Structure 1
C-alpha cells in the first residue's frame, strides 16, 4: 500500500501547540493497512477522507498526518476504481463519474450567495464570498479542465461568518468533487 506510515515516521508537536492523538492515528492507520490488504476492505477512500482525530499535547504534526492520509486515500481510490472498472466496465464507471460531476456542476452554477443553504442568522457558517470563489474555480475545472488539484480541494479552508453557508452541505460537495477527481485521475 502507498505509505501507511509507522508512528515513528510522524513528527510530534512541541510546546503549547496540539497535534493529532498518536494512539488514534496509529489505530486508524493499522485498520486502514489491514483493510487495504484484505480481499473485502472495511475501509474506503471516503472513510479515509472523513476521518478525524482528537487534538492533544505532544500529538503528531497535523500537516504530516494529513499528507499521509491524502496518499492513503489516493491508494484506496485507485483500488476502488480498478475494482469498479473490472466489475462494471469502463462505460458504467465513466457514466457514474459524469453524473456525479454534473450534479456538482449544477449546484455550483447556482447564483452567487445562493449556492448552498444558509445557517440561521445567529449561527456561524462558512463565509459565503469565500465558498462562492472556490465554487467558481471548481465549476471552471469541471467545465473546461482549468487546473485544479485534488490536494487543493482537500485542503481548502473557509473562515466563518454569522448566517453563512451550511458547513455540512459545502463539505459534502467538496467530498463529491474529490470523488470525481479521483475517479478520473
Structure 2
C-alpha cells in the first residue's frame, strides 16, 4: 500500500498516520460539499489549527504541514469566492481591512509591551524576537513591504522566562494569515 506522504525514519517521530488520513478524508468531503453526518465543520481557520498526535515512523511533519498549508489556501480561496458572491468583493475587503487595522493597532504598541507577559516564573515567547517580527509585519501593513505568508506561518520564537504570552501572539499571527489570504 502506498503512503500518502513520506514517512519519518522508524526511530523518529512523525504525525500519526491514521489521524492524518482521517483528517484528509474529512477535508475532501468538506471541500466537495459532501460532509458525513458526524463531520465537524471545516474551514481555512480550522485547518490552520489542526494538530496531530506523534508516532515513531509516522508521516513526515514537513510534508504534511506543507499539504495543510495548500489545503488552507484552497479553502480560503473558496471561502472568499462564496463570500464575494453573497456579499460582494467590497464587503470581503472591508472585513479584511478592519482586521488589518486591529492588527496594526496592536503592533503599534511600544516595544516590550505589544502583548501580555507571563509571570517571571513562566515561559513565554522571547520578547525581542517577537518585537523584531512585529516590526516586519508593521512594514507589511503600513508600507506594503513584502513578506511571504509562509514566513508568518512558520515563524518560531525562542522561549524566555517572563516573555510574551504565547496564545496571544499566536492569535495575532493567525489573524495576519487570515488577512494575507483574504487579499491574495
TM-score computed with the length of structure 2 as normaliser:
0.94
Q: Tell me if structure 2 keeps the 8 A contact 1:7–1:26.
A: no
**Distance in 1 separating the partners of 2:168 and 2:73:** 23
Separation in 2, partners of 1:89, 1:161: 45
**1:66: how far off?**
0.4
User: What is the aligned partner in structure 2 of residue 30 from structure 1?
Assistant: 25
Across the aligned residues of Structure 1 and Structure 2, the Cα RMSD in angstroms comes to 1.6
The DSSP-based 3-state class of the residue aligned with 2:3 is helix
TM-fit CA distance, 1:7: 7.0
Q: 2: CA distance between counterparts of 1:130 and 1:7?
A: 41
1: distance between equivalents of 2:107 and 2:21?
37
- Give the gaps of 5 or more residues in structure 1: 1-5
8 Å CA contact 1:7–1:22 kept in 2: the answer is: no
d(CA) in 2 for partners of 1:137 and 1:42?
Answer: 34
1:104 & 1:57 partners in 2: Cα distance? 39
Deviation of 1:152 after TM superposition, in Å, equals 0.7
Distance of 1:177 and 1:81 partners within structure 2: 16
Superposed CA offset, 1:152-174 (max 9, x none): 10011111111110011000000
Q: Is 1:56 matched with 2:51?
A: no
Q: Would you say the 8 A contact 1:10–1:60 is kept in 2?
A: yes
Shift of 1:42: 2.1
Matched, 1:174 2:177: no
1:17 aligns with 2:12: yes
Counterpart for residue 3 of structure 1:
none
> Counterparts of 2:6 and 2:84 in 1: how far apart (Å)?
38
TM-score, L = length of structure 1: 0.93
Contact 1:10 1:64 (C-alpha < 8 Å) held by counterparts: yes
Q: Tell me if structure 2 keeps the 8 A contact 1:24–1:53.
A: yes
In structure 1, C-alpha distance between the alignment counterparts of 2:139 and 2:180, rounded to whole Å: 13
Given the alignment of the two structures, is residue 99 of structure 1 paired with residue 94 of structure 2, yes or no? no
Determine the structure 2 residue equivalent to 1:146: 145
1-side partners of 2:109 and 2:89: how far apart? 31
Instruction: Show the counterpart of 1:109.
Output: 108
* Separation of aligned partners in 2, 1:135 and 1:145: 14
Q: CA deviation at 1:39?
A: 6.5
Cα deviation for residue 101 of structure 1 reads 0.2
